[in-house]
Amino acid sequence: MSVSSFPQSTSPSPVSTVAPSGASLRANLAMGVGSFAIGTGEFVIMGLLPEVARDLGVTIPQAGHVISAYALGVVIGAPLLAVLSSGWPRRKLLVALMLVFGLGNIASAIAPGYLSLNLLRFLAALPHGTYFGVAALVAASMAAPGRRGQAVGQVMLGLTVATLVGVPIAAWLGQVMGWRAAFVFVGALAFLASVLIFRALPEIPADEGASPMRELGALRRPQVWLTLAIGAIGLGGLFSVFSYVKPTMMTLAGMPLEQVPVVLALFGAGMVLGNLVGPRFADRALMPAMCGLLVWAVLVLGAYSFTAYHSWLGSLNVLLVGTLVAMGPVLQIRLMDVAGDAQTLAAALNHSAFNTANALGAWLGGVAVNAGLGWSATGWVGALLALAGLAVFAVSVRSAGWRPVR
C-alpha cells in the first residue's frame, strides 16, 4: 500500500496567515504556555485527592468526583463554546478562554465545600477543548507549507511538558501549602499565558462567514464523526493502562512505592517524545501516520500485559505507551482536513473525544480487573481498543473513496 493510496483532503483549509518562522514560533510558544497551564490544572488534582478529601471532610473516592466534573466540563464546553464564539477574532478568543480558565482555578482555590468545588471544576474546564482547538487552527494557519503537524505539536507540547514539570511543582505546592495553593499556581500560569498570547499573536479575524449554524454543519460530515471515533476508541487503551499503572507495577512487578514516581515521569517523557516525533510523520503522510500509530498502539499495549511483571521492562513499556499521545496532533490535522468550513467546532471536539477515551479506557480497564482477569488485563483491554480504532480507521478510508493502487 503506497502513501498515495490514501484519500487526500479536498476540504478548504482555515484562512492562511502564514507568518515568518520566528513570529510563528513565538506565537506557538505563547499558546504552548496556555497548554501547559491547562495540562497542569487537569492532572495535578489526581495527586492531591487525600488532601482534598481530608480538608472537605469527604472520602477519597468522593473527592475523585472533582476529576469527573472537570472531564464533563471539557466534553460539554468544547462544542458549546466553539459554536458560540465562532465569529470572534482568534487572539481575542484565546485570551478570553485563558482568562476564564484562570478565574475558574482561582475560584476553585477558595471553594468553601465539596459541592462548590465540583461545580467550579466543571466551570473551569469549559474553555479547555475550545482553547486547544482554536490554538491548533491558529498554529496551522501560521505554519509554513508542509509543517502544520509540527506547528500543532508545538502548541500541544505544553500539555505534555506539564506532566513532567507543571504537575510536580503544583503537587509540591499543594502538599507544602495546602491543595488550594496548587490551583492558585495554575490560575497564575493561565493569566501569564493570556498576556503572552496577547503580545505574541497577530490580529487574526474569524473565518469569513463564520456563524454558529455553519459550525454545526461539521456534525453532518461522516468523516468528522469517524475521525472523532478513532480518537475516542483508539486512544482509550492509553488510559486503560495508565489509570492503573501504579497498582499494576506494584502488584505484578513488586515495585516499591518510592519507585512509582519514576514510572510516572517515564510516561510523561514518552508523551513529550510522541508529541515531538508524531507530528513530523503527520506532515510527511497524514493517513499512513495515523494507521502506523494505531498499529504501534496495538503492539505496545499488548506487550504491557507481559512486561508489567518486570520492573525495568514494564517501566520502559510505560514510556512507549506515553508516545501514543502523538495521535492527538495527527487527529487534529485530520479534523481540519475533513471539517470543511466548520473548522472551530471540529477542532474543539478532538478534546471531547480525548476525554471520552479517558473515561472509556479507565472504565473498561477497571471492568477487566474487577472481573478477575488480573492487573495485566489492562494491557489486553488497551490492545483491543486500539484494534477497534484501527477498524474505524479502515471504515474511514474506505468511505472516503480509497482504492488499492494496482
Q: What pLDDT band is residue 277 in, cutting at 50, 70 and 90?
A: confident
> What is the span of the domain harbouring residue 364?
208-406
Domain identity same for 288 and 351: yes
Which pLDDT score, from 0 to 100, does residue 75 have? 84
DSSP string, 15-73: PP----HHHHHHHHHHHHHHHHHHHHHHHGGGG-HHHHHHHHT--HHHHTHHHHHHHHH
Worst-scoring range by mean pLDDT, 89-103, 195-209, 372-386?
Answer: 195-209
Domain ends where: 155, 188, 206? Answer: 206
Domain identity same for 246 and 190: no
Section 11-40 average pLDDT: 73
- The separation between CA 148 and the C-alpha centre of its own chain, rounded to angstroms, equals 18
Domain identity same for 146 and 273: no
384 CB-side CA count, 13 A: 12
Which pLDDT score, from 0 to 100, does residue 362 have? 78
Angle, helices 327-338 vs 286-307, to 10°: value is: 150
Higher pLDDT, 324 or 280: 324
Domain identity same for 197 and 229: no
Domain identity same for 54 and 133: yes
Report yes or no on 332 lying in a domain: yes
Domain identity same for 387 and 272: yes
Residue listed under C-alpha cell 505496545: 300
Domain identity same for 166 and 50: yes
Q: What is the dihedral of CA 57, 59, 62, 63, to 10 degrees?
A: 70
Domain ends where: 206, 230, 251? Answer: 206
Domain ends where: 206, 231, 252? Answer: 206
Q: What pLDDT band is residue 401 in, cutting at 50, 70 and 90?
A: low
Report yes or no on 12 lying in a domain: no
Domain identity same for 71 and 132: yes
Report yes or no on 6 lying in a domain: no
Q: What pLDDT band is residue 157 in, cutting at 50, 70 and 90?
A: confident
> Domain holding 38: CATH number?
1.20.1250.20
Domain identity same for 223 and 255: yes
pTM: 0.77
Tens digit of each residue's pLDDT (9 = 90 or more) over 158-186? 888 888 888 888 888 887 888 899 999 99
Section 181-197 average pLDDT: 94
Which pLDDT score, from 0 to 100, does residue 354 have? 83
Please state, as a whole number, how many other Cβ atoms lie within 10 Å of the Cβ of residue 208: 7
Section 27-47 average pLDDT: 87
**Alpha carbon distance 12, 90 (integer Å):** 18
DSSP-based three-state secondary structure for 253: coil
Worst-scoring range by mean pLDDT, 86-100, 221-235, 300-314, 357-371?
Answer: 357-371
Domain identity same for 375 and 248: yes
Helix (H) or strand (E) holding 137: helix 114-142
Report yes or no on 233 lying in a domain: yes
Report yes or no on 378 lying in a domain: yes
Nearest C-alpha neighbor of 111 from the set 214, 193, 183, 192: 183
C-alpha pair distances (Å), 280 with each of 55, 250, 330: 46, 36, 10
Overall domain count for the chain: 2
